[in-house]
Amino acid sequence: MTKPLSSRIALVTGASRGIGYATALALAHAGAHIVATARTVGGLEELDDAIKSAGSTATLVPLDLRDHEGIARLATALDERYHKLDILIGNAGIGGPSSPLDHVQPKDWDEVLAVNVTANWQLIRYFNPLLQKSDAARVVFVTSGASALARAYRGPYSASKAAIEALARTYAAENASTNVRVNLHSPGPTRTRLRATVMPSENPMTLPTAEDVAATILPLCLPSFQDTGKFYDFRAGKLMSFRAPA
Ligand SMILES: NC(=O)c1ccc[n+]([C@@H]2O[C@H](COP(=O)([O-])OP(=O)(O)OC[C@H]3O[C@@H](n4cnc5c(N)ncnc54)[C@H](OP(=O)(O)O)[C@@H]3O)[C@@H](O)[C@H]2O)c1
């Protein structure tokens, strides 16, 4: 039987662990060829082994997403090799500092914005031409309830997630009449390293796993999925629209 994503090329950022790793594996199980990026080579190699066991294939790309020339080189390489990109998962992210806004160090602010926002804009910038060449490109950016909650001491992270939501919705609007569908996914608290770093006293076993979350990212990547400019809320278990401006 043909798998739903066979012959489709999927780029997943932050694929060395956590939600990115699980999403890459879920897409591979569905038949996609995975282009997996992150900085940690060991995590990417572990993913490669799991993808091979699932009967699919991967290209491993060790890359710091703050290296914009590296993103450009990857886009050129994928264009030469595959002439298109079908799925882009903008998942890589960091939690950043937990401190009052006036205590946040400029280098920490810059890093959160660089990884959580600017890198995703650079991905759009360099990969849009390849996405336009797909007959049904599907883009998912991973956001967080932090954007709306705006909790004390989590300012850089919350601001970065508000920015990625605006970025994704803008990209969706710009592609209303193309084959590119752009949506957000909000996982909610998930058992990963990022969560453990931000909430060290929490019992991780009380949280959903990255695999649980990945299973709900997969449907947004199918060629048959037509919604755009929306977000999937994992805890609510459904696709939601953003509030219309008053
Ligand atoms: N876990 C949660 O509770 C939760 C809740 C809401 C939203 N999210 C979002 O879900 C996404 C994934 O988070 P996670 O929980 O799975 O975290 P995680 O386990 O810490 O994984 C983060 C991934 O991002 C990559 N990454 C970080 N900095 C990078 C950089 N400079 N260049 C390239 N890759 C980089 C990491 O790879 P390397 O370190 O190997 O580079 C890793 O693969 C994030 O966008 C996060 O904001 C998570």
**Per residue in 134-164, pLDDT tens?**
999 999 999 999 999 999 999 999 999 999 9
- The per-residue pLDDT for 1 is 76
Ligand 1 mean position to 202 CA, how many Å? 18
- The per-residue pLDDT for 243 is 76
- The per-residue pLDDT for 12 is 99
Sequence length of the chain is 246
- The per-residue pLDDT for 74 is 98
Residue of minimum CA distance from atom 23 in ligand 1:
14
Pick the CATH number of 9-239 from 3.10.580.10, 3.10.20.30, 1.10.260.40, 3.40.50.720: 3.40.50.720
CA atoms within 13 A on the CB side of 149: 13
Quickly count helices (H) and strands (E) in the chain.
Answer: 9, 8
Burial of 180 (0-12, 13-18, 19+ CB in 10 A): buried
Measured from the CA of 146, which atom of ligand 1 is nearest?
6
Ligand 1 mean position to 115 CA, how many Å? 9
What are the pLDDT digits (tens) for 164-175? 999 999 999 999
C-alpha–C-alpha distance, residues 129 and 226, integer Å: 20
C-alpha–C-alpha distance, residues 185 and 166, integer Å: 13
Residue in this structure with the two tokens 């959580």, named with its chain if needed: 116
C-alpha–C-alpha distance, residues 161 and 183, integer Å: 14
- The per-residue pLDDT for 66 is 98
Stretches where the chain sits below pLDDT 50 are none
Indicate the Cα dihedral angle 11, 33, 25, 128, nearest 10°: 20
Measured from the CA of 44, which atom of ligand 1 is nearest?
40
Amino acid identity of residue 61, one-letter, is V
